[in-house]
Structure 1
Amino acid sequence: MLKNLLLTTLLLCSAAASAQSVFEVNLDPAPYNRSEARTQAVELVLDRLTGGQAQNSWVRDEVGRELSRYLQSEPPGSGYNAVFNEAELLAVLQGAELPFSLAPRPTVLVWLSKEGRARSEANRSWRRASNAYQIPLLWPLWDLDEHMTLDTREPFAAQALREASRRYGAEYWLAVEQGTEGGRWQLFGSKQASPLLEGKLESGTDAVTKLMARLNRYWVERHAQRRAPRPANPAPEQPLLAEVDAGGELTIVVSGLRRFADSVLLERKLRQLDGVGSVFVVDSAGSQGRYRLDISGSRAAVLQALTTISGLTVTGEREFSWSGATGD
């Protein structure tokens, strides 16, 4: 009776952990610097959603640069908390043509043998890693039944693990052998005889976090989805015209901005030009956009530099056409 009560409590705690939105981030402990905390939160939420596929994408720079657009709130509480705007984040992932997953991560039963001794609860590193990737973990009680079935010196005996895991009603279980110099791990599923995943456990304080990131990537790969492409922006009924420039400014009109990603990538390339400071979208109409560049040097030099941007073609005085790719 006591074991059943404890098991029910563990399952309820696991279910509560899985109910948190993937768009909610908690960093505890958090960096002292608020800017650094926000950067870490952005990286984590994108990693969760895409399984790491956003790491080398322009999406990270875009979300970090336009944070007020993507960050919905920063609730009070322990550490640093952030809630991201679901609609805006999914729109930028769609623009980058990145797959993502909103599916809740399944509960994983953890059989941990640390330096030859069975562990039946999560320490701080396991709690942080579980929270970071919202993978709810269930820990075995390691009572007499388990000790009669399992040998902590052989934590990867698949059949013995399967029999012990059945008593917890687990769909997935993770066997981990951890030592001072790292270790190894295997992920099992109730419907497969052989491991679904396996790998080495690194040494260091972030070893478990990297393991959870790998499991998260596995779930995303299995349940990835893509939003249907948005219709391409049409040509505007009333074309935009370049405005009269004030001192220290250069206004250009760009056509051919068919997708959201086109505007983002073009802005990035404009900001990278020598002599260009801030870049603003003054207004847009269909597939056209009017950009204002704050410049510190010669207008002629910046205009010349614009002709070197791959995908940008001169079509008139301060008028250009964009044909750049959506990836970068």
Structure 2
Amino acid sequence: MRLSVRLMIFCLSFLSLSALAAPVAGLYQVREPVADEQPESRDAAMQKALQTLVLRLTGDARALQNPALEGLRKDPQQIVSQYGVEDNALVVEFDPASTDRQLRQAGLALWGANRPAILTWWLSESPEGSQLIGESQNASASLRDAARHRGLPLRLPLADLSEQALASADVLLANDPQALREVSERYGADALLAVRANESGGKWQAIWRVWLGDEREQGKAEGADLDALADALMLAVAERLAPRFVVKPGAAQSLTLVIEGADLERFAALERLLEPFAARLQEIDGQRLVYQVSASPEQLRAQLALAQLQEVSEPLDAAESVDNPEGTAGEAPQVKPRTDQLRFRW
């Protein structure tokens, strides 16, 4: 049974759900500017690359200052697979296994590679006018580079005439994002990021809001140019989202996860989604899947919400009956739901 499931997953690995966490490509590759190829410049860029990576994986700007990482700060190359200079940037490939092991041993909570796909509605305002940045416009490169640098899966709208007309500041930053949700449906993203950026006096500033399900985060960012603004803003978004998904050492417990309503396409999707939790498929019964996972219930709920899975109540026959010796004769026994099982459905 296990072998046949793995074979189906392999055959369907190219498929994806329209709204599902997106695996971040190149999560452990970091590019940082380098002034020249002198050892001092390269070492400074290597330190910056390490800081960028740890921020990507933890969402915590102070994580690298953990006393347990003193040796790593002194010698980042112990977790480096390879590096080189390319287009005035130091490109560093960090080893995923060595990196994760060192960070976990330091007691840090990590965010896995499967992250919410973020549809970004970015309205740029300048003295020349306003423009919604779409996927085919030159300015989109700044947004993509910034999202990649901060470890976020970015999607951009087409920014066609109908979307340009809709994307006013009032719509993007409305307290009720219903209008934005409706126009975003065709893109199948997990989160919506709305940005109003403006250039004034040679500097860029922005107000942003991000919706993940019914929850909202918001903030402000600034930068000397569009590249710097985009990087600062994506960093702020990553730091706000990370706490919802990081796997904290010691907080995980063994849980039974029951998924109802699965089909062939969803096998591959679930495998990717459950990677951070050491998931083991225990049983298949029609469209019902049973996994054994190592996770905290809260973090597992946040991850499964990316696939639009709905939590359901545990059926009574799966609960434990608890005797009530003090109860009257014929009284129904108390029902105590299992605390080590979570059930979800599409």
Query: Could you say if the C-alpha distance between residues 113 and 169 of structure 1 is closer, same or farther in structure 2, counting changes exceeding 3 Å?
Result: same
* Structure 2 residue 93 is the aligned partner of structure 1 residue 83: yes
Note the residue ranges of structure 1 that are not aligned, 5 or more in a row.
1-10, 230-328
Q: 2:162 aligns with which of 128, 141, 145?
A: 145
Give the match for residue 217 of structure 2.
197
Aligned residues: 211
Give the match for residue 107 of structure 1.
117
Give the match for residue 50 of structure 1.
58
Runs of 4+ in 1 over 3 A off after TM superposition: 75-78, 121-125, 147-150, 226-229
Contact 2:24 2:153 in 1 (8 A): no
Whole-angstrom CA distance in 2 between matches of 1:114 and 1:150 = 11
Higher relative contact order (Cα pairs below 8 Å, separated by 6+ residues): 2
1:91-170 equivalence runs, <5 A = 91-115=101-125, 116-120=130-134, 121=137, 122-147=139-164, 149-152=166-169, 154-157=171-174, 158-170=177-189
Give the match for residue 179 of structure 1.
198
Contact 1:187 1:197 in 2 (8 A): yes
CA drift of 1:154 comes to: 4.3
Query: Could you say if the C-alpha distance between residues 61 and 127 of structure 1 is closer, same or farther in structure 2, counting changes exceeding 3 Å?
Result: farther
Aligned partner letter, 1:67? P
Aligned partner letter, 1:224? V
CA drift of 1:135 comes to: 1.3
Seq. identity, %: 26
Whole-angstrom CA distance in 1 between matches of 2:24 and 2:242 = 17
The higher radius of gyration belongs to 1
Contact 2:24 2:152 in 1 (8 A): no
More strand by share: 2
Aligned partner letter, 1:130? A
Contact 1:114 1:179 in 2 (8 A): yes
Q: 1:69 aligns with which of 78, 98, 113?
A: 78
| TM-score for the superposition, normalised by structure 2 | 0.54
CA drift of 1:82 comes to: 1.1
Query: Could you say if the C-alpha distance between residues 67 and 150 of structure 1 is closer, same or farther in structure 2, counting changes exceeding 3 Å?
Result: closer
CA drift of 1:187 comes to: 0.4
Query: Could you say if the C-alpha distance between residues 75 and 34 of structure 1 is closer, same or farther in structure 2, counting changes exceeding 3 Å?
Result: closer
Aligned partner letter, 1:71? V
1:263-278 equivalence runs, <5 A = none
Whole-angstrom CA distance in 2 between matches of 1:31 and 1:59 = 30
Q: Secondary structure at the match of 1:202?
A: strand
Contact 1:25 1:41 in 2 (8 A): yes
Note the residue ranges of structure 2 that are not aligned, 5 or more in a row.
1-15, 252-346
Q: Deviations over 1:226-252 (max 9, x none)?
A: 3459xxxxxxxxxxxxxxxxxxxxxxx
Whole-angstrom CA distance in 1 between matches of 2:95 and 2:164 = 47
